[in-house]
């Protein structure tokens, strides 16, 4: 997952402008990884997206207010404690400062701050499928995780993504379709895809990064050799085959994180009576519409977190920046 290219020195200089009390940092988006439809990875048009993972959000925001007071909207007047509480209370548990100009590097960045405990929960449980979804795709890791818990959770997140994607795919599919299904997990259901995002965004992410996806998932796919047959090498149009026997489907269902399983159980029982989770999953594995059941539950998680996070981002960005950011997104959509 570690990827450091010619832009690495610039990223390290960026990190020096922030408090150093964070345990993990990665960059993502069109300003970091090539996407079709954008001029280049390092075009000035493409804002760089960063995520800082911190053990103590109160302490980090307090230090960052001292160091980068101008990055914050009027919410800076609340102080580090209330900003941290706002960050951790709802939405995807991320606090964003957006359209931050770094004149020395001639770049514009957006950076999110998330507490370590909230990142771990999203990676392992998919409560929000927000940062977990971003880490389903190749990213630029700027500072490696200082805790083995984060690394283990990231590996579990990749396994969960493969389980989910295989549940949504037919028996035969191409390698490109596999990575597209994985990438689409966190976009299907995202209300921003209705307005503000390019409708071909998922294809545009996957197509130029096939080799990066292969590198990211190579170790994970080794664990699926008993049920997934991948092309040894060559074109992304070569056919992959998966086992669709009921025991395999059940194994994929059991491989899903806590929150999708919880939703599947709730929807299948409709709250009528208590039933053992395993019995319900067995029933789903035998159903002809198991794909739509899984897809619907994943969409509902993404829909809820994307709506609330977008509402949450309005005061953190401030009205003017919110309008500028939304307008820029709209221009990308229709360009």
Measure the CA angle with vertex 83, ends 324 and 129; round to 5°: 70
Distance (Å, whole) CA 112 – CA 94? 6
Tell me whether residue 86 is in a domain.
Answer: yes
Tell me whether residue 1 is in a domain.
Answer: no
Tell me whether residue 192 is in a domain.
Answer: yes
Q: What's the whole-model pTM score?
A: 0.89
Distance (Å, whole) CA 89 – CA 106? 34
| 172-174: strand order across its sheet | 172-174, 239-242, 228-229
Q: What is the pLDDT of residues 94-106, one digit of tens each?
A: 999 999 999 988 8
Short-list 49, 53, 55, 131, CA closest to 92:
131
Tell me whether residue 2 is in a domain.
Answer: no
Report the SS3 class of residue 96: strand
Measure the CA angle with vertex 108, ends 121 and 47; round to 5°: 60
Short-list 74, 7, 16, 60, CA closest to 34:
7
Token pair 């960026």 in the structure block, residue: 14
Q: Quote the pLDDT of residue 81.
A: 97
Measure the CA angle with vertex 139, ends 17 and 153; round to 5°: 100
Distance (Å, whole) CA 202 – CA 198? 9
Q: Quote the pLDDT of residue 327.
A: 41
For residue 101, the cross-strand partners are 108
Give the domain extent around 115.
Answer: 7-332
Q: What's the distance, CA 9 to chain centroid?
A: 25
Which element (helix H / strand E) includes 228? strand 228-229
pLDDT block averages, 10 residues each, the chain of length 335: 55 92 91 63 69 97 97 94 95 95 92 98 97 96 91 98 98 96 92 67 92 95 95 75 98 98 92 80 97 97 92 79 50 46
Tell me whether residue 42 is in a domain.
Answer: yes
Number of domains in the chain: 1
Tell me whether residue 51 is in a domain.
Answer: yes
**Radius of gyration of the CA atoms of the chain, in A:** 20
Given a contact cutoff of 8 angstroms between Cβ atoms, the answer to whether 129 and 305 are in contact is yes
Given a contact cutoff of 8 angstroms between Cβ atoms, the answer to whether 189 and 256 are in contact is no
Q: Quote the pLDDT of residue 93.
A: 96
For residue 100, the cross-strand partners are 109
Q: Quote the pLDDT of residue 147.
A: 85
What percent of the chain is modeled with pLDDT above 70? 84
Instruction: Provide the token pair at 290.
Output: 């198991």
Given a contact cutoff of 8 angstroms between Cβ atoms, the answer to whether 186 and 295 are in contact is no
Measure the CA angle with vertex 236, ends 215 and 226; round to 5°: 65
Distance (Å, whole) CA 181 – CA 187? 10
Q: Quote the pLDDT of residue 31.
A: 78
Phi and psi torsions of 173, nearest 5°: -165, 165
Distance (Å, whole) CA 245 – CA 227? 9
Tell me whether residue 267 is in a domain.
Answer: yes
Instruction: Provide the token pair at 207.
Output: 């197509």
Instruction: Provide the token pair at 160.
Output: 């969960």
Count of C-beta atoms within a 10 Å radius of residue 43: 10
Q: What is the pLDDT of residues 233-255, one digit of tens each?
A: 666 678 999 999 999 999 999 99
Tell me whether residue 287 is in a domain.
Answer: yes
Distance (Å, whole) CA 69 – CA 84? 15
Given a contact cutoff of 8 angstroms between Cβ atoms, the answer to whether 290 and 249 are in contact is yes
């Amino acid at each position: 997952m570690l990827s450091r290219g010619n832009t690495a020195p610039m990223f390290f200089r960026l990190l020096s402008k922030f408090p150093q009390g964070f345990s993990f940092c990665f960059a993502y988006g069109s300003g970091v990884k090539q996407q079709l439809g954008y001029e280049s990875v390092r075009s000035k048009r493409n804002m760089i997206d960063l995520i800082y993972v911190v053990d103590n959000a109160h302490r980090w925001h307090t230090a960052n207010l001292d160091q980068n007071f101008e990055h914050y909207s009027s919410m800076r007047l609340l102080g580090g404690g209330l900003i941290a509480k706002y960050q951790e209370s709802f939405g995807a548990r991320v606090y964003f400062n957006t359209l931050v100009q770094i004149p020395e590097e001639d770049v514009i960045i957006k950076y999110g701050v998330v507490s370590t405990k909230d990142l771990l929960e999203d990676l392992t449980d998919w409560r929000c499928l927000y940062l977990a979804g971003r880490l389903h795709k190749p990213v630029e890791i700027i500072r490696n995780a200082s805790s083995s818990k984060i690394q283990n959770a990231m590996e579990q997140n990749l396994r969960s993504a493969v389980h989910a994607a295989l549940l949504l795919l037919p028996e035969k599919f191409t390698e490109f379709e596999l990575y597209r299904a994985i990438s689409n997990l966190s976009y299907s259901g995202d209300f921003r895809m209705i307005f503000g995002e390019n409708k071909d965004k998922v294809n545009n992410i996957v197509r130029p990064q096939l080799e990066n996806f292969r590198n990211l998932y190579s170790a994970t796919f080794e664990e699926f050799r008993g049920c997934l047959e991948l092309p040894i090498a060559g074109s992304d149009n070569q056919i992959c085959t998966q086992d669709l026997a009921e025991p395999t489907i059940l194994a994929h269902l059991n491989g899903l994180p806590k929150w999708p399983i919880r939703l599947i159980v709730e929807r299948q029982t409709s709250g009528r009576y208590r039933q053992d989770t395993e019995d319900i999953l067995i029933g789903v594995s035998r159903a002809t519409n198991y794909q739509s059941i899984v897809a619907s539950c994943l969409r509902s998680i993404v829909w809820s977190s994307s709506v609330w996070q977008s509402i949450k981002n309005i005061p953190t960005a401030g009205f003017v920046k919110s309008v500028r950011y939304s307008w820029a997104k709209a221009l990308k959509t229709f360009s």
